[in-house]
Amino acid sequence: MTKLSVNVNKVAWIRNGRGGTLPDIKEISKICIEAGCHGITVHPRDDMRHINPEDVEVLKELTESCGVEFNIEGNPFSVEKGRYPGFINLIKTYKPTQCTLVPDDPNQLTSDHGWNLSGDNSELKETIEEVSMHGSRVCLFTDTDELTIKTAKEIGADRVELYTGPYAESFIKGINNDLLDQYSLAEKFAHSIGLKVNAGHDLNLINLGGFLSTCLIEEVSIGHALISDALEFGIYETVKKYLKICN
């Protein structure tokens, strides 16, 4: 079984577009948990275009009280800016179950590539050690090449999250078996060296099943597509649909 973590960034984004408190991110997250999801994911950015530090505090309390995982993802080198306390300070304060480190630029619309670990990784290694010291499992956002995955293990990551954007894009044009094989080989290699494997980005109700039937994945993190589907099916039923595929 693959665990499902629901990324609720888009809920906060809708709320922020109007101001006020609706949709209520705590209540929407509670419905996701009641529907059976295994965790809640957030990706706070320094421009606070969606998730803000107050949301992180609320969702830490909610996930802890409900006994599900809390995953905070983001660039570990994002520093304090205005009300944004800096990524590592958020991790130190709220100690999520999992910390997913992503190499995104503050100006990026969304994450679109994994870490390049071909150079000097000493600073990232120190960051991983610091995050681990605060009790969080560390996951690195990666592409499918074996060298990157091997290096992720060497610098202390517990998991990798395979960036599935290329798979999702190719799926629109028809199933690309060669690309699926790349993901399958990457997953098998990661498991062979003792890493667990997550996956995420542009996975949806249409392409998720084919991916999970090919790759052994511990956890998927899904946000944009899931919240979009909820406009049609409602959030509770949408989570159930994704869980059915994960099962």
- Give the residue extent of every domain in the chain: 3-246
Contact by Cβ (8 Å): 211, 183 = yes
pLDDT given at position 69:
98
Q: Is the pLDDT of residue 107 over 90?
A: no
Q: Which two tokens stand for residue 224?
A: 């944009």
Work out the number of other CB atoms within 10 angstroms of the CB of residue 178. Answer: 7
Query: Is residue 73 annotated as part of the catalytic site, yes or no?
Result: yes
pLDDT given at position 7:
98
Considering 50, 69, 73, 187, which one is annotated as catalytic?
A: 73
Strands (E), 133-194: 137-142, 159-163
Q: What is the pLDDT of residues 207-233, one digit of tens each?
A: 999 999 999 999 999 999 999 999 999
For domain 3-246, the question of CATH label 3.50.50.60 is answered with no
User: How far apart (Å, rounded) are the C-alpha atoms in residues 32 and 221?
Assistant: 13
Q: What is the pLDDT of residues 56-101, one digit of tens each?
A: 999 999 999 999 999 999 999 999 999 999 999 999 999 999 999 9
**Measured at the alpha carbon of residue 27, what is the angle toward residues 22 and 33, in degrees to the nearest 5?**
145
How many Å from the N-terminal Cα to the C-terminal Cα in the chain?
5
Q: DSSP letter for 213, please.
A: H
Contact by Cβ (8 Å): 97, 70 = yes
pLDDT given at position 190:
98
Average pLDDT over residues 42-51: 94
| pTM confidence score | 0.95
Q: DSSP letter for 155, please.
A: T
Considering 43, 50, 69, 219, which one is annotated as catalytic?
A: 43
pLDDT given at position 81:
94
Considering 69, 161, 187, 201, which one is annotated as catalytic?
A: 201
Q: What is the pLDDT of residues 125-164, one digit of tens each?
A: 999 999 999 999 999 999 999 999 999 999 999 999 999 9
Average pLDDT over residues 99-105: 91
